[in-house]
Amino acid sequence: MSVLTRNEAQTRAQLLDVHRYTVDLDLTTGEATFDSTTAIRFTARTAGDTFVEIKPETLRSLSLDGQPLDPERLDGNRYPLDSLTAGPHELTVAATMRYSRTGEGMHRFTDPADGETYVYTQLFMEDVQRVFAAFDQPDLKSVFDLTVTTPTGWTVLGNGVSTQAADGRWHIAPTPPISTYLVAVAAGPWHSVTTQHAGLPFGIHCRRSLAPHLDADADEILDITRACYDRYHEKFDEPYPFDSYDQAFVPEFNAGAMENPGLVTFRDEFVYRSAVTDTERQTRAMVVAHEMAHMWFGDLVTLTWWDDIWLNESFAEYMGYQTLTEATRFTDTWTDFGVARKGWGYDADQRPSTHPVAPDPDAVPDTASALLNFDGISYAKGASALRQLVAWLGEKDFLAGINTHFSRHKFANATLADFIDNLATATDRDVHTWADAWLRTTGVDTLTAHVETSGHSWNLTVDRAGDRPHRVTVGTYDHSLDTHTGTDQLTLRDRFDIDIPQDGTPVTQPGHRPDLVVLNDHDLTYAKIRLDPGSWDTALTHLSGIPDPLTRALVWNTARDMVRDGELHPTVHLTAARTHLPYETDLALVQGVLGFAATQIADRYLPPQDRPTALATLTSLCRDLLRRTEGLTAKDWEQAPGTTTPGSPDPGLRLIAVRHFIDAATQPDAIQDWLREGTVPGGPELDAELRWRILTRLAVLGATDETAIAHELDKDPSATGQEGAARCRAALPTAEAKAAAWQAMFTDDTLSNYLFTATAQGFWQPGQSELLHPYVARYYPDAIALAARRGPAIAEAAGRHAFPAHAVDLDSIRLGEQALTDPALTPALRRKLTDQLDDLRRALAVRDAH
């Protein structure tokens, strides 16, 4: 198979003008394959040679302008079209195509809960070739006209409105011009909730076995959808460009969601079977808002080549968070962004694999290299850069520039240069220079505050390591005694904006020096922050007393990257968490800080002999949170999301404490009691997710067995139950269990992407290093062979979840470095391994620093 290069795409875009794909898919031909017939109408601007792509099981026939072509001439995924004459042509291609089990192309899934089958497409980047023949590149936009034949009783969803012409014969309304990677079909006996909004049909869909769970949240999902839709119409001059808006929650989906025009696909874990926190509901809402932003940025105006994926992703990410705060009940999204997303960007930006937000086009020579840029840089750093741009330009000018961009390039393609030129039309500021500094460079600046008293005033000087201009807010805080409770609080004294670099003179403020000076209060820029020593002492001792959650998020992020940089002992971070989280009111903060403490500090940054103490600290912290959330009634647990009773504890906080208590348990007794009783004392009652979580922990501790796992699977035979059982079985601390799990992951090529991931998640456990030691060396050759056989999605899962992340030692790093020289290594796995090895080196450096 050949990957498309940028040069080839440019040559083909100059030669061809593609008008219309008429595609006929027959999904009734068996469980392994389906039939695909395509007619492509296009014009060659001059005479020339080119090719069309397809990855068939069998290429049955082709014809050009009515003349048959020889199917044998297919070369990998390319069929040559030599000596095309100038003028209009029609190419027809008939092929048998294979369903996938990896979430790529046409994924086929049979629901173990009821035996119903569903298929859906994920055609991103170059997987349209797994479904029909195409000139597959983003700047050859076309009309797509699809017909789909299905078994009786199915519904077909597509980019346009679908109608059933005859039994099982569905036609999807032709699209406006869109890119090949954005075509989508989802077919099966879907459960649907439909409505109308702004004159358009809106629908949400999921597999039947999840129907009650979708129905329970349908109002919430549709309300957010409508609110975002209306808000985008206030911001954007171009109306929504498609004829309907469907959101399908599909099984075994690899990403969070995909922005297909008129048919967004989501992973169906977003249809909650079990209790979730309000932060998790906010994440789902954010994904809804993010994907809808893509209808304009990505779908209406599309990148010309894949070097500009940040134009899609940074914009959707920024708009998603911002629009949610403006239009829905989730008004505090930037705290979650600070805690959950920015760290992803900072981490990626400090690795050897970092790249500019907008890479040089030559750095993305083909689709395989483009795929590697779907990372923390393109999403989180890019969105942070846009947020800084809005702070610097003002929102009015920013939106004016965006609207110029839409109107100039609608139903077509654009580049970074176009985007910057269009922004420049709306402002006097020098956006080209800004873009060079922010989008064309790599790495994180560090801003360090120096505070000194000078008579009756105090001075602030900021050192900058790095070259970017920043506009930041400085917040100043003083101690105050709460006379009611007798507790020591921090009160905001003042906030002011400064530009960095400063003009050579420090900022002078009247009065005594504040007890706490926070650089980048409001978190409007992207930089590592170091407080002055006095402020840092105040922050560590009074973190939970800082009034604004976004400020607390910034301080927690500072602590996080000080640990990662070896400047703060991991135990100090853990102690701060132990001290302050019991008083934390923001769920996203509790979730984010506890997650870092558990998976990084306890599992990796502390040496193994210190892990039991760290886990004991975490469980006692969770016991405190459980005590703080006592007294919830059954009614509180059932209450509509986002409506807590004033003064009563937050069920979401209790749920986070329960989950972390289970995961950190070093003794089985307490959680075994919970499982037997079916409830945590004082609630919640255990739902399927919590039962599987407890059973997984018991498996890790060797306190359960195959009989109990099989019994649990009988009670929950759903797809999630199958994953739970696979995770438990792989977690059991026996040589047989580990051998069976390894065999499944690395030799069973029919194992689905989801069952692979669940098995891998159970397999590696930080407390089982002796048992797992032989697998560290086996991992590299086995993963390299697997990635080459099964493609990018499984390579990603093998690199992310099956990697020996707890083997923090030089031997393990050496093995990994050797593996990087293996010529059989695929690009997707190479990138994953490069990043994982960097994380191992960092963990080792953190251990060595103290």
Report yes or no: 474 and 495 within 8 Å, Cβ to Cβ.
Answer: yes
Which range in 180-188, 219-227, 314-322, 710-718 contacts Zn ion by CB under 5 A? 314-322
C-alpha 9: how far from its chain's center?
Answer: 28
Choose between 267 and 573: whose C-beta lies nearer to Zn ion. 267
Site string for Zn ion, 701-730 (x = CB under 5 A): ------------------------------
Report yes or no: 247 and 266 within 8 Å, Cβ to Cβ.
Answer: yes
CB 249 to Zn ion: min, Å: 17
Q: Describe the strand order of the beta sheet including 169-172 as a list of residue ranges.
A: 67-69, 58-64, 87-98, 33-44, 16-26, 143-149, 169-172, 162-166
Report yes or no: 262 and 245 within 8 Å, Cβ to Cβ.
Answer: yes
Interface with Zn ion: number of residues (CB under 5 A): 2
Tokens of 463: 């050192």
CB 291 to Zn ion: min, Å: 7
Report yes or no: 215 and 148 within 8 Å, Cβ to Cβ.
Answer: no
Tokens of 484: 């009611």
Choose between 241 and 724: whose C-beta lies nearer to Zn ion. 241
Judged on CB neighbours under 10 Å (0-12, 13-18, 19+), 139 is middle
Choose between 250 and 550: whose C-beta lies nearer to Zn ion. 250
To 5 degrees, how large is the angle CA 387–CA 472–CA 500? 115
Q: According to the binding rule CB under 5 A, does residue 840 interact with Zn ion?
A: no
CB 315 to Zn ion: min, Å: 9
Tokens of 725: 């059982």
Which range in 1-9, 312-320, 435-443, 544-552 contacts Zn ion by CB under 5 A? 312-320
Tokens of 787: 């990635």
- Nearest-CB residue for Zn ion: 316
CB 378 to Zn ion: min, Å: 9
**If residue 842 lies in a helix (H) or strand (E), which one and from where to where?**
helix 827-849
In sequence order, the 6+-apart residues with CB closer than 8 A to the CB of 677 are none
Which range in 316-324, 360-368, 692-700, 804-812 contacts Zn ion by CB under 5 A? 316-324
Q: Is 291 a catalytic residue?
A: yes
CB 294 to Zn ion: min, Å: 6
Q: Rounded CA gap, 143 and 127, in Å?
A: 18
Choose between 378 and 571: whose C-beta lies nearer to Zn ion. 378
Q: Rounded CA gap, 257 and 288, in Å?
A: 9
Which range in 302-310, 313-321, 477-485, 817-825 contacts Zn ion by CB under 5 A? 313-321
Choose between 316 and 713: whose C-beta lies nearer to Zn ion. 316
Choose between 303 and 632: whose C-beta lies nearer to Zn ion. 303
CB 416 to Zn ion: min, Å: 17
Which range in 57-65, 78-86, 311-319, 479-487 contacts Zn ion by CB under 5 A? 311-319
Return the DSSP state at 748.
Answer: -
Choose between 316 and 699: whose C-beta lies nearer to Zn ion. 316
Site string for Zn ion, 264-303 (x = CB under 5 A): ----------------------------------------
Tokens of 71: 């199917």
CB 296 to Zn ion: min, Å: 12
Please, what is the end-to-end C-alpha distance for the chain in angstroms? 49
**If residue 694 lies in a helix (H) or strand (E), which one and from where to where?**
helix 688-700
Choose between 313 and 561: whose C-beta lies nearer to Zn ion. 313
Choose between 297 and 742: whose C-beta lies nearer to Zn ion. 297
Return the DSSP state at 440.
Answer: S
Judged on CB neighbours under 10 Å (0-12, 13-18, 19+), 743 is exposed
Q: Rounded CA gap, 542 and 532, in Å?
A: 15
Report yes or no: 268 and 250 within 8 Å, Cβ to Cβ.
Answer: yes
Which range in 305-313, 632-640, 737-745, 763-771 contacts Zn ion by CB under 5 A? 305-313
CB 689 to Zn ion: min, Å: 26
Q: According to the binding rule CB under 5 A, does residue 316 interact with Zn ion?
A: yes
Choose between 288 and 758: whose C-beta lies nearer to Zn ion. 288
Catalytic residue (one of 291, 313, 723, 796): 291
Which range in 74-82, 140-148, 149-157, 315-323 contacts Zn ion by CB under 5 A? 315-323
Three-state secondary-structure class, residue 65:
coil
Q: Per the omega criterion (within 30 degrees of 0), is the bond before 684 cis? A: yes
Tokens of 675: 């499982």
**If residue 282 lies in a helix (H) or strand (E), which one and from where to where?**
helix 278-294
Site string for Zn ion, 109-148 (x = CB under 5 A): ----------------------------------------
Residue type, 538: T
Q: Rounded CA gap, 566 and 250, in Å?
A: 42
**Footprint on residues 446-485 left by Zn ion (CB under 5 A):** none
CB 320 to Zn ion: min, Å: 8
Residue type, 417: A
CB-facing half-sphere around the CA of 397: CA atoms within 13 A: 17
Q: Rounded CA gap, 183 and 123, in Å?
A: 7
Return the DSSP state at 448.
Answer: E
CB 222 to Zn ion: min, Å: 21
Choose between 318 and 605: whose C-beta lies nearer to Zn ion. 318
CB 295 to Zn ion: min, Å: 11
CB 265 to Zn ion: min, Å: 12
Choose between 181 and 190: whose C-beta lies nearer to Zn ion. 181
**Footprint on residues 19-58 left by Zn ion (CB under 5 A):** none
E-assigned strand segments in 173-228:
185-188, 191-197, 200-206
Residue type, 300: L
**Footprint on residues 499-518 left by Zn ion (CB under 5 A):** none
Which range in 309-317, 539-547, 638-646, 689-697 contacts Zn ion by CB under 5 A? 309-317
CB-facing half-sphere around the CA of 233: CA atoms within 13 A: 11
Which range in 310-318, 634-642, 798-806, 835-843 contacts Zn ion by CB under 5 A? 310-318
CB 768 to Zn ion: min, Å: 37
**If residue 491 lies in a helix (H) or strand (E), which one and from where to where?**
strand 488-500
Question: Smallest Cα–Cα separation from 125: which of 37, 9, 25?
Answer: 9
Report yes or no: 752 and 790 within 8 Å, Cβ to Cβ.
Answer: no
E-assigned strand segments in 501-588:
507-510, 516-521, 528-530
Choose between 287 and 726: whose C-beta lies nearer to Zn ion. 287
Q: Rounded CA gap, 132 and 147, in Å?
A: 12
Tokens of 460: 């602030």
Binding residues for Zn ion (CB under 5 A): 313, 316
Active site residues: 291
